[in-house]
Amino acid sequence: MKKILSSLRLANSFLPSQLTRTNSLLTQVTHSPLNTFHYTNQFMLFSSQPNQIINLVLTDDWSQQLEQKIYKSNIKMTHESVVYILKNLDKDPLKASKFLIWVTEKNGFDPNSSSFCLLLRILAKNVAMTEFWFTVNKMKEYCLFIDEESYKTMVVHFKSLKMVADASALTRFYNTMVQSSVLDCKVKEVVDVVWRLDWDCEVEKRLMEMGICVSEVFVVRVLMGLRKRPLKAFEVFKWFVKGCGFQHRIGTYNVMVRVLGRYDSIEEFWSLLKEMKDVGYDLDIDTYIKISRRFQKNKMIEDAVNLYEYMMDGPYKPLAKECSLLLRAIAASSTPDLDLVFRVVDKFEVAGHILEKTGYDLIHRSLTRVGRFDEAEKIMETMRNTGYEPDNITYSQLIHGLCKARRLEDACKVLDVMIGNECLPDLKTWTTLIQGHCAAGEVDRALFYFSRMMEENCEADADLLDVLVNGFLNQKRIDGAYTLLIELVNRARLRPWQATYRNLIQDLLGERKLEEAVSLLHLMRKSNYPPYPEPFLQYISKFGTVDDTLRFLKALSSKEYPTISAYQHVFQCLFQEGRHSEARDLLYKCPLHIRKHEAICSLFGSVESTSSGAA
């Protein structure tokens, strides 16, 4: 893999500067937002002690002998190491529970809310309810609290599993915990003052006058109360030191970093992370994961990569899946930044990890998305040499990239190569190729491959139908789109997307094809989609006859007659267009209960009186 990356970097030297990367793999020096330099071979300084414990716990059953082995290892159990071990035990909830209780009660670990909340989330996720409620009681015994984020996560999970009793019991416990806390009122008072006012000397004076008794729990709850105002939270964080003499510890640092990990406070985030390192604290792995996910969700990909490098240079390295998630976030861009891809892969490999199929595919996806097909082919060769044969995912990505580059013939050749290598295209592959042709305006070729797909006994789905219908509509071939949809609904029993129906109905009415549009309205109703009257009302009010209107009204409901409000809307639209005689003709053809309804009579009465007044 290193040879491939080296060759790719050599090719990068001929690209624009934003994709250039000329430093060598192992000796490069990178500059992080922490304003400090670090070498990528720092991993050699990494203490493997937490991993030793993880291996011990995963290998042996929990017993006194195992406890003795861990004890004799003389490993100091810090907050960061305990969280790291728990995170690595998240698929073995019983051992995670045994470990935290043992390290707290027999190994001198100072219990804190964040480590116990992490254990609760692990137990809840794995539905280990005996251990879950045992841990809740332990937290009560240690005067620890469940944070709001963990509480909401667990309650939602319980409700999704129909565990109503557990969800209710947890809610009662959480509410009681909050209400019984003597800190609650004081926390709310501090949050309210800081939230409402701009930070200045007056705010500091008001805080001093409150007579606050600062503790780690109090600080954490204030910071979480201000999490939607990260810069104000940071001011309070600093004031607790300056105004109260409070000494921040690992728990408050991690919470503050978590609050600052946003776009509008990113400079303060990196500044505080450097401060943490300077005072000897490491970011715990649970906090890292939450911040990294937020960065990826908010498209702050470069910050996510910087943070990944920061963690990989430290003692608590992210799990292998974090590399894949980060590569996936980079590859999701329409034009992935290859420099970020290389940086993530470098850190992953330097730490001693070996790329698996998913990692190769994500590198391959990034390359194909930016049109780097020669390098993508080299990645496929490396995959084969490593023992991973290209599959539907690999070929589909290549086809997508070629179609994006408008190299449609090459994309079709890839399909033939794929079949020749006994890798049968799946629906995703066919959809990718057909969508590429539709996007290029090659709808007839798209239909050819659609027919070929059907011959291969690969059934279409609503997504592919939407691709084809939109392809037809973009070419103003509305009859073709309508015929295709009707054919697949009737013969293949396909259920189109609601959006597909809507787009086609609008275009049909634009061509004054009311009969076809009404037939789609019937199909929508059979698929239990809500009525879609808006474009019909616009059409009928301007062009529709009385018979057209009655046909539309009948299609709106499975009952004999639609609602009164449906008739009201039709009459109102006709009046707005000045088509009073058509409205009266329609009224005479309506059933008696509609003609005599108070709302309809009132509508006609108000219109007639307005007309008389105008005359």
Q: What is the pLDDT of residues 254-277, one digit of tens each?
A: 999 999 999 999 999 999 999 999
How far apart CA 114 and CA 439 sit, in angstroms, is 50
Question: Residue 559 has what pLDDT?
Answer: 81
Question: Residue 14 has what pLDDT?
Answer: 30
Q: Which of 40-49, 336-345, 520-529, 599-608 has the highest mean pLDDT?
A: 336-345
pLDDT digits (tens, 9 = 90+) for 11-39: 343 333 333 332 322 223 233 444 333 33
Give, for 39, the enclosing helix (H) or strand (E).
Answer: strand 37-39
pLDDT digits (tens, 9 = 90+) for 410-453: 999 999 999 999 899 999 999 999 999 999 999 999 999 999 99
Q: What is the mean pLDDT of residues 456-461?
A: 91
Question: Residue 334 has what pLDDT?
Answer: 87
pLDDT digits (tens, 9 = 90+) for 164-209: 999 999 999 998 887 766 567 888 889 999 999 999 998 899 998 8
**Residue 348 · residue 41 · CB < 8 Å:** no
Contacts 24+ apart (CB under 8 A), 409-418: 411/436, 412/449, 415/449
Question: Residue 590 has what pLDDT?
Answer: 87
How do 37-39 and 29-31 pair as beta strands? antiparallel
pLDDT at 612 over 60: no
- What is the secondary structure of 296-361 as a DSSP string? HHTT-HHHHHHHHHHHHTSSSPPPHHHHHHHHHHHHTSSS--HHHHHHHHHHHHHTT----HHHHH
With H, G, I as helix, E, B as strand and everything else as coil, classify residue 355.
coil
The pLDDT-based confidence of 217 (bands split at 50, 70, 90) is confident
Q: Where are the alpha helices (DSSP H) in 106-183?
A: 113-125, 129-141, 148-160, 164-180
Higher pLDDT, 561 or 488: 488
**Residue 548 · residue 514 · CB < 8 Å:** yes
Question: Residue 183 has what pLDDT?
Answer: 65
How far apart CA 501 and CA 520 sit, in angstroms, is 7
CA distances from 446 to 108, 221, 472 (A): 68, 58, 10
Q: What mean pLDDT is reported for the chain? A: 86
Q: What is the mean pLDDT of residues 98-124?
A: 91
**Residue 518 · residue 502 · CB < 8 Å:** no
Q: What percent of the chain has pLDDT over 70?
A: 90
How far apart CA 599 and CA 596 sit, in angstroms, is 9
**Residue 395 · residue 423 · CB < 8 Å:** yes
Question: Residue 610 has what pLDDT?
Answer: 59
Count other C-beta atoms under 10 Å from residue 245's C-beta: 8
Higher pLDDT, 560 or 389: 389
Question: Residue 50 has what pLDDT?
Answer: 74
What one-character DSSP code corresponds to residue 492?
Answer: S
The pLDDT-based confidence of 613 (bands split at 50, 70, 90) is very low
How far apart CA 566 and CA 559 sit, in angstroms, is 13
Question: Residue 608 has what pLDDT?
Answer: 59
The DSSP bridge partners found for residue 37 are 31
Return phi, psi of residue 358, to 5°.
-60, -45
Q: What is the mean pLDDT of residues 128-136?
A: 95
pLDDT digits (tens, 9 = 90+) for 297-341: 999 999 999 999 999 999 899 999 999 999 999 999 989 999 999
pLDDT at 10 over 80: no
The pLDDT-based confidence of 6 (bands split at 50, 70, 90) is very low
Return phi, psi of residue 29, to 5°.
-115, 125
Report CA Rg, the chain: 32
pLDDT at 368 over 50: yes
